[in-house]
């Protein structure tokens, strides 16, 4: 089988001239190629941008990468590139689609505004859409609203989404986003069994450094906490243009805070192994892979109840913040971290939850429910 994946995943040249891309997606491509044969990945190439530390090369020789121009950005010229690159992007997709048995398009993304209609109208190939965003978010960018509406009303192919929802159409299939393999699970089990949850606790945050991810809310909550001796430090993994500003903001929080920037997966896992709590007070998510990855190593999630997160994180395996009821600062300050046994039990339960996010389970579901 030849599986065509179309995505906006960023690719780069590393210092040796090798193509690398965002680690979690590249890893998924490698696993798909193990199960389904050849995978052709059509995705964006940034030619003159330094590869982030989270970028990795493909590890499976059955994956073939096909570049398309990068698009989008902050200024007008970059925003217009979404349109000016449309012909080249569609031409590349059409060429690869001819030789594919099945395709997957990963939405939402800006090029979905024209790629989704193109696939719906001009292709009769078997395929499906992976919608990674918040499927039920009421307020979202127009392009996301357009893509969701088209997928629901103007095409018949299946859509894999985060979470399970009331009145969910039969073509919308609830799928967990994979990020762990069986070896990760075994290692995580060992870590959870040996980890001690007596105060002081180590905190971590992993994700994009911006306001929507709740970074400032998190820093304010720690700053206002009346007993900072409950915590050892906060490790922050991630990057953005706001990183320097956040480092300055964090100076008077009153707790050691380490900004690691973007890190390779193995180094992020080392932070999970040492941490007790994952803080992620996001305003919008689909289901962030970092929650499952951290949970695998016994990092108890302290997360916002958005999208499908509350379907996995509950009272017995984490702390769920309902932003419509109180501020994150008030929520975090009120949490009880004194009972080591309760925290240990939460950690065991959250490790169990992470088992839903393995590649093996994901591939089995794809084979049974989508690809057939």
Distance CA 365, CA 315 (A): 28
Q: What's the distance, CA 112 to chain centroid?
A: 19
pLDDT at 283: 87
3-state secondary structure (DSSP) of residue 234: strand
Q: Which residues contact 80 (CB under 8 A, 6 or more apart)?
A: none
Nearest to 54 by CA among 213, 215, 274, 266: 266
Segments in the chain forming alpha helices (H): 23-36, 76-84, 86-97, 112-122, 142-153, 182-194, 215-224, 243-249, 265-274, 289-296, 328-334, 340-354, 359-365
Is the CB of residue 212 less than 8 Å from the CB of residue 242? Answer: no
Distance CA 268, CA 275 (A): 11
pLDDT at 179: 96
Q: What is the pLDDT of residues 235-270, one digit of tens each?
A: 999 999 999 999 999 999 999 999 999 999 999 999
3-state secondary structure (DSSP) of residue 223: helix
pLDDT at 139: 74
CA 96 vs CA 45, 123, 285: distances in Å:
17, 12, 31
What does the DSSP assignment read for 82-108? HHHTHHHHHHHHHHHHTT-SEEEEEES
* Ramachandran bin of 64, using left for φ above 0, alpha for ψ from -120 to 50, beta for the remaining angles: beta
Q: What is the pLDDT of residues 315-329, one digit of tens each?
A: 999 999 999 999 999
Cβ neighbours around 87 below 10 Å, total = 10
304 burial level (CB within 10 Å; 0-12, 13-18, 19+): buried
- For the chain, what is the radius of gyration of the CA atoms? 21
Q: Which residues of the chain carry a pLDDT beneath 50?
A: none
Is the CB of residue 19 less than 8 Å from the CB of residue 121? Answer: no
């Amino acid at each position: 089988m030849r599986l065509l994946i179309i995505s906006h995943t960023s690719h780069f040249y590393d210092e040796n001239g090798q193509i690398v891309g965002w680690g979690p997606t590249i890893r998924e491509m490698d696993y798909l190629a193990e199960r389904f044969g050849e995978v052709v990945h059509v995705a964006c190439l940034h030619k003159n941008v330094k590869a982030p530390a989270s970028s990795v090369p493909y590890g499976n020789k059955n994956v073939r990468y096909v570049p398309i121009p990068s698009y989008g950005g902050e200024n007008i010229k970059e925003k217009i590139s979404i349109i000016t690159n449309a012909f080249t992007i569609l031409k590349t997709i059409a060429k690869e689609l001819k030789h594919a048995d099945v395709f997957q398009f990963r939405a939402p993304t800006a090029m979905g505004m024209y790629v989704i209609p193109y696939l719906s109208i001009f292709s009769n190939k078997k395929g499906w859409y992976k919608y990674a965003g918040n499927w039920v978010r009421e307020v979202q960018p127009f392009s996301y609203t357009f893509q969701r509406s088209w997928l629901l009303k103007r095409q018949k192919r299946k859509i894999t989404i985060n979470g399970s929802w009331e009145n969910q159409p039969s073509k919308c299939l609830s799928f967990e986003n994979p990020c762990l393999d069986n070896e990760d699970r075994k290692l995580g089990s060992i870590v959870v069994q040996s980890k001690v949850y007596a105060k002081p606790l180590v905190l971590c945050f992993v994700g994009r450094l911006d306001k929507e991810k709740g970074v400032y809310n998190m820093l304010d909550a720690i700053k206002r906490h009346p007993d900072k001796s409950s915590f050892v430090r906060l490790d922050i993994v991630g990057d953005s243009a706001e990183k320097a500003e956040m480092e300055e903001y964090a100076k008077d929080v009153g707790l050691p805070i380490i900004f690691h920037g973007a890190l390779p997966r193995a180094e992020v896992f080392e932070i999970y192994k040492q941490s007790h709590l994952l803080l992620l007070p996001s305003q919008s998510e689909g289901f962030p892979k970092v929650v499952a990855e951290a949970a695998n190593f016994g990092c108890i999630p302290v997360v916002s109840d958005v999208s499908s997160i509350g379907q996995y994180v509950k009272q017995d395996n984490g702390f769920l913040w309902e932003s419509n009821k109180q501020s994150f600062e008030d929520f975090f300050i009120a949490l009880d971290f004194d009972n080591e046994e309760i925290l240990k039990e939460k950690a065991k339960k959250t490790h169990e939850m992470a088992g839903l996010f393995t590649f093996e389970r994901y591939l089995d579901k794809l084979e049974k429910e989508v690809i057939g």
